[in-house]
Amino acid sequence: MRLTPTYIAAILSLCAISNLALGQRSSWQQLEAPEPDITTFDAGESYTTTFNTRNDIDIRILDGGVLINGVEYQMYTYASMENDGTLTNSIDGTLYNTQGGTLNNSGTLNNFGKLTDVGTLSNSGTLNNNGTLSNNNGKLYNTEGGTLNSNGTLSNGRFGGLNNDGTLNNFSRLNNGGVLNNDGTLNNDGTLYLGGSVSFEGGVLNNNLGGTLNNNLGGEIRNASLVKNYGTLNNDGTLSNVYYGYRVNAGTLINYSTGTLNNNGTLNNFSTGTLNNAGTLNNDGTLNNYSTLTNSGMLRNNGIINSSSRAASEISSIQNHGTLRNDGIINGSVDVKASGILTGSGTINGSVLLEGAINPGNSPGTITTSNQTWINGASYGWEINDSDGTAGGLVGWDLIDITAAELDSGNLDLSQLTTGGFGINIISLDTLNAIGAAEGFDDPNGDYEFVILTAIGGITGFEAEDFALNDDGFQNSGSWEWSIAQDGNNLVLSATGYTLVPEPSSLALLGMGGLGLMLRRKRS
């Protein structure tokens, strides 16, 4: 006679009732007899354990079948468990997938108690965690098409691996001390801890190419270890590189060249933390930098960046090796490295060390900063679309406005420049702000002057020969000589036009040729 689950359940239930009547808890038992080798719970069958089980046989729950680990009971799996139906671990129950054990869920797995994996747990269906799900030294796979909803606590141990290729929704607390690889979609509406305690020290989160990590409004990511973003990371909540006291590093967040990090909430880089952007970082929220922010990709700021030290022993800095487009507010100093570009129409309430390029506005426009220091090898990309326009206006030409902020005096320091050390690239734009001839410049013999920089606190160390003027980007016809001068607190760029009138005789032409050489425009 075949021992069916229903028949066995009836017998075991009677045994359990007898034991309970004697005031004894049931001893460890197999969920099913060892024959047949695969214990199958068929469609329409529902079974609830009333004893602790220790299973070293294969178990399968077919679509429509139901297996429930009863309240306060323990179920240990040493072989494999295949769930195509419904598997439920009840309140205060324990479902333990041991080392070498396999739990494959393609149906629905509901955990209200404690679900522990030290083997392999693979979810291609729906896994609802309302209790505690711990991956201790095992492998937890949420495969493509799978959904893992965690309303309880989800912990990936120090030597565990959590791989998400499907959808992982965290509504409560996710502790990661191992390696969390996201190739699918990870939605955080709760709190995600990386290296948040000694037991979870060393947690790494890899958001891989093609992966999306959404830290939603109200969600929080606390990183005391390492976040690597190769895909898309959207932060509408709070993402912090934090310090937990026993750690040397407060956390590292690296946005790689293929990655996009969109911050619409709050992004905190706390003391001794590191924030490196080699991809695209769009800040439309608040970015608080109390340590080092290094940009070698594209950093677009339309919000607020606060960069300051919170203690005398700490250093806060923004190191720009890529493109920093500031159309918002930066409270702090910026170091524009030799390969870096500073552009945009925003305000920097802090000093600027210019070793790279500064291109004010958004073709053209005004960039506003505190003190600036210019170094040999740096350059100013100056654009003009109308000689009759205004300095810093949308119709007109670029302007650098060095304005006092707090204790700064609004100075431009040119004392470190040497002959030909600083380049000014003169670029004309058409009415559509594309490279082309600018409006105006109607008088071929005229003199035009343009204030290209103003410093409220003054200019020190100006020498005209320190500037190399390059008008290869100036598309207007005619012959123009460009020069630069200091006029009080302003730098003034001048264009002088010349018209050469040909004479009928060759001798006269020769003479005019000599005069042309004398009057030719200045180029470099």
Q: How far is CA 516 from the centre of its chain?
A: 56
Residue 509 has a pLDDT of: 42
Q: How far is CA 461 from the centre of its chain?
A: 40
**H/E element holding 519?**
helix 506-519
The full 3-state SS of 170-197, as one line of letters, equals: ECCEEEECCEEEECCEEEECCEEEECCC
Amino acid at site 155 = S
Question: Which residue shows structure tokens 């309970």?
Answer: 20
pLDDT in tens, the chain (524 residues): 333 444 334 333 433 333 333 333 446 777 764 444 568 898 999 999 999 998 888 999 999 999 999 999 999 999 999 999 999 999 999 999 999 999 999 999 999 999 999 999 999 999 999 999 999 889 999 999 999 999 999 999 888 899 999 999 999 999 998 899 999 999 999 999 887 554 445 679 999 999 999 999 999 999 988 999 999 999 999 999 986 544 445 689 999 999 999 999 999 998 878 999 999 999 999 999 998 999 999 999 999 999 987 666 566 789 999 999 999 999 999 999 999 999 999 999 999 999 999 999 998 999 999 999 999 999 999 999 999 999 999 999 999 999 976 555 799 999 999 999 999 999 999 999 999 999 999 999 999 999 999 999 999 999 999 999 999 999 999 899 999 999 999 999 999 998 765 555 444 444 444 433 333 333 33
Number of H helices, E strands in the chain: 2, 60
Residue 314 has a pLDDT of: 61
Residue 25 has a pLDDT of: 41
344: tokens are 């945009």
Residue 30 has a pLDDT of: 73
DSSP codes, 345-404: S-EE-S-EEESSEEEEBTSS-EEEES-EEE-TT-EEEEEESBTTSEETSSSEE-EEEE--
Smallest CA-to-CA distance from 293 within 310, 311, 270 is with 270
Q: Is 496 exposed, middle or buried (0-12, 13-18, 19+ CB in 10 A)?
A: middle
How far CA 286 is from CA of 9, 303, 324, 447, 456, in Å, comes to 60, 6, 16, 46, 29
Residue 97 has a pLDDT of: 95
pTM of the model: 0.87
Smallest CA-to-CA distance from 175 within 145, 202, 210 is with 202
**Hey, where are the domains in the chain?**
51-361, 362-524
188: tokens are 């955080």
Asked if 307 and 332 count as a contact pair (C-beta separation under 8 A), the reply is: yes
Measured distance CA(51)–CA(74) in Å, rounded: 8
